[in-house]
Every structure is written in C-alpha cells, then in structure tokens.
C-alpha cells in the first residue's frame, strides 16, 4: 500500500484529492484546521477509506500535527493548506502568510524526514496581474508585493522559492504545480469566488455580483481534471513549476450569463466595484503539462457547470446539508 499526507485535505480541492488517492487503494492522512475546509467534506471519505483514512485537525503552522500523523514513512506529501478565496485570505492576512511560510517549511521538512516526494500546490496568482498572455511557466509575474492580495501571492511565491531551494541544496524530490481557477462540488456556497458566488446567487434568485465591467477574464478548470493533473505530477519526477488549468478563457460577464442560462434562473446582473489589484486576464499555457505529464483537461466548461449546479442546488434547496 502507498501512503500519502494531504495538508488542506478537508478543503475543496484537498478533499477531492484524498478521495482520488483512496480510490487508488492508498492510505491517506489529512491535516486541516478547518479554517476554510469542513468536516462534511471528509465525512464521506471516512466511510470510504475506513482505517486507510485518518483526519488530523491541527493548524499546519502552529499545531502538533507531525506526531499525530502516525509513525513511519510516507510516499507523498501534497501541500494544499491555505485559504484560497480572496475574501477568505483578505480576512486573515497574517494566518495566510504563516501557512504560506512556516506551514510550507514544516510540510516540506516533514516530507524529507519521512522519505516522501513533496508536491506543492502553487497558484496562477504568482503571475499577479500578468503582462504576458497566456501565462507560461517562464514568466516571472507582475505582483504588487504590498497590495492586499500579496498575503496570498507572496506566501505562494516564498513557498515556491523554498521548495526549489530544497531540491537544489538537499536533492529533495519535489514537484510544483501552479493551479489556475478551479471549480466544482465541495466549494463553500457563496465562498467569495466567482463561480461559487454566481451559482449560489442564481439558484436563490439574487442578482449576480459582477465586479468591475466584467471584461476581466478567467479560465475555469473542473476539479476532477485538476486532481488528475496533481496525481500525474506526483507520479512523475518533474520538478516544474508546471501550470495546471483549463485554457478555455471567458470574461466574467460571459460566465455570469452562462450560469444564468444553465440554472434557468431569472436573476439579473449587478455591477459592483472591482477589487484592488484584481488581475485583468488569466489563461494558462499548458504546453509543459501536455508534454511532460501527458495531461490536459477533458471536462468542457458547460458540462462542468451542469455538474456543479446540480451539486449546489441540492445544498441550496436544503436537501443535503
């Protein structure tokens, strides 16, 4: 049996990753402080995994999770723990910086001590408000180091620097993935991110809150595609960084209309101020992932939206808690 530890395993992407690893017959330890993740995300996995799934509720940067993770070696450590929705990380700036520095330091050291390959989930936010389009891994980015978003962006950039330094100085096995906007079941309804907001708003008949004029672009990737990419990276010896995302780029206003159409909602669109430093364009160049990992996304935006809406509808209607 193979053994993995997933930080942030009770979060949106983390819980899907735990599920995929359990499906492969692996044994999985999930470390999460539930600050943005939830127990309900992993309840089903405790049934699915039985003794192969173990949840440790601890803060990655301050808690005593290493001793609670169990004795012995691990094959993989996936480090996902962090608030990821802008309103979430803007509400806890220092905690976000801590997990993006001390948290990563402890996670990568744990991987080294236990003999595991370390997979760091970085972000398209390292490109900031990009001046190169689409973004490839060679682009260094355009980040405001003291802007409000910097607590997330710079924590991820520091973590990339730390991960690559461990590879260079210690020869540690590492892989860095840069995740672009991802959506799907287990996002917290209305968590502040564009699709969880829009779908929740459309299903409850509220206006869809488009920030700015809605001309800014994003390229949403369905969560199952993203998780498949993370596993492909962990199976390889690629160091990266490597972009993981769906290059189908849409404006935020187009996205609002797609959601209204797909939900059959009578909601309208309400324009609101654009947040500070909001990137104007974002689209991944996935050439490297296609070449090195034989990976590309397969779920079309319209199909992913239908699956996500179905999941969200059951929560909003109160059918499922």
**Which residues carry out catalysis?**
152
Per CB under 6 A, does 252 bind ligand UDP? yes
One symbol per residue from 124 to 153: x for binding ligand UDP (CB under 6 A), - otherwise; what is it?
------------------------------
User: What is the Cα–Cα distance from 244 to 17, expressed in whole angstroms?
Assistant: 14
Residue 282 CB, shortest distance to ligand UDP, in Å, is 6
* Token reading at 319: 């059918």
Span interacting with ligand UDP, options 14-22, 53-61, 164-172, 203-211, rule CB under 6 A? 203-211
* Token reading at 3: 């053994």
Q: Which of 150, 197, 224, 234 binds ligand UDP (CB under 6 A)?
A: 197
Residues in region 165-184 near ligand UDP by CB under 6 A: 181
Span interacting with ligand UDP, options 62-70, 154-162, 189-197, 312-320, rule CB under 6 A? 189-197
Q: Which of 194, 288, 289, 312 binds ligand UDP (CB under 6 A)?
A: 194
Question: Closer to ligand UDP at the Cβ: 210 or 231?
Answer: 210
Per CB under 6 A, does 193 bind ligand UDP? yes
Q: Are 29 and 67 in contact (CB under 8 A)?
A: no
Q: Which whole-number Å values give the CA distances from 120 to 4, 65, 108, 276, in the listed order? A: 13, 18, 9, 27
Residue 116 φ/ψ, nearest 5 degrees: -100, 150
Question: Closer to ligand UDP at the Cβ: 216 or 243?
Answer: 216
Residue 95 φ/ψ, nearest 5 degrees: -60, -35
Q: In what order do the strands lie in the sheet with 242-244?
A: 53-57, 27-32, 3-7, 76-79, 117-123, 174-179, 242-244
Residue 193 CB, shortest distance to ligand UDP, in Å, is 3
Residue carrying structure tokens 């330091």: 105
Q: Are 3 and 73 in contact (CB under 8 A)?
A: yes
Per CB under 6 A, does 11 bind ligand UDP? no
Residue 236 CB, shortest distance to ligand UDP, in Å, is 27
Per CB under 6 A, does 211 bind ligand UDP? yes
What are the residues whose beta carbons fall under 8 Å from the beta carbon of 248, sequence distance 6 or more? Answer: 219, 220, 300, 301
Binding site for ligand UDP (CB under 6 A): 86, 181, 192-194, 197, 209-211, 216, 218, 252, 274-275, 278
């Amino acid at each position: 049996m193979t053994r993995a530890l997933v930080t942030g395993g009770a979060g949106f992407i983390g819980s899907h990753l735990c599920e995929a690893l359990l499906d492969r017959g692996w044994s999985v330890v999930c470390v999460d402080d539930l600050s943005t993740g939830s127990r309900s995300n992993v309840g089903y996995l405790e049934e699915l995994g039985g003794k192969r799934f173990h949840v440790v509720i601890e803060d990655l940067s301050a808690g005593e999770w290493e001793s609670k993770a169990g004795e012995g070696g691990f094959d993989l450590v996936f480090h996902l723990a962090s608030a990821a929705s802008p309103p979430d990380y803007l509400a806890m700036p220092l905690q976000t910086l801590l997990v993006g520095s001390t948290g990563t330091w402890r996670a990568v050291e744990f991987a080294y001590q236990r003999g595991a390959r370390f997979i760091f989930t970085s972000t398209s936010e390292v490109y900031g408000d990009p001046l190169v389009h689409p973004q490839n891994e060679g682009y260094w980015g355009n980040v405001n180091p003291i802007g409000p978003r910097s607590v997330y962006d710079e924590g991820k950039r520091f973590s990339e620097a730390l991960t690559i330094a461990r590879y260079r100085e210690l020869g540690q096995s590492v892989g860095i993935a840069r995740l672009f906007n991802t959506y799907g079941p287990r996002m917290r309804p209305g968590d502040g991110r564009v699709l969880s907001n829009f779908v929740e708003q459309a299903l409850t008949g509220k206006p869809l809150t488009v920030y700015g004029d809605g001309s800014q672009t994003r390229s949403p990737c369905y969560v199952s595609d993203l998780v498949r990419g993370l596993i492909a990276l962990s199976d390889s010896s690629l160091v990266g960084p490597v972009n993981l995302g769906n290059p189908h780029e849409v404006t935020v206003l187009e996205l609002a209309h797609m959601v209204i159409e797909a939900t059959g909602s009578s909601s309208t669109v309400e324009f609101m101020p654009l947040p500070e430093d909001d990137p104007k364009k974002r689209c991944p160049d996935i050439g490297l992932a296609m070449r090195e990992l034989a990976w590309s996304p397969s779920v079309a935006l319209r199909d992913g939206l239908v699956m996500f809406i179905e999941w969200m509808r059951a929560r909003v209607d109160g059918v499922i808690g």
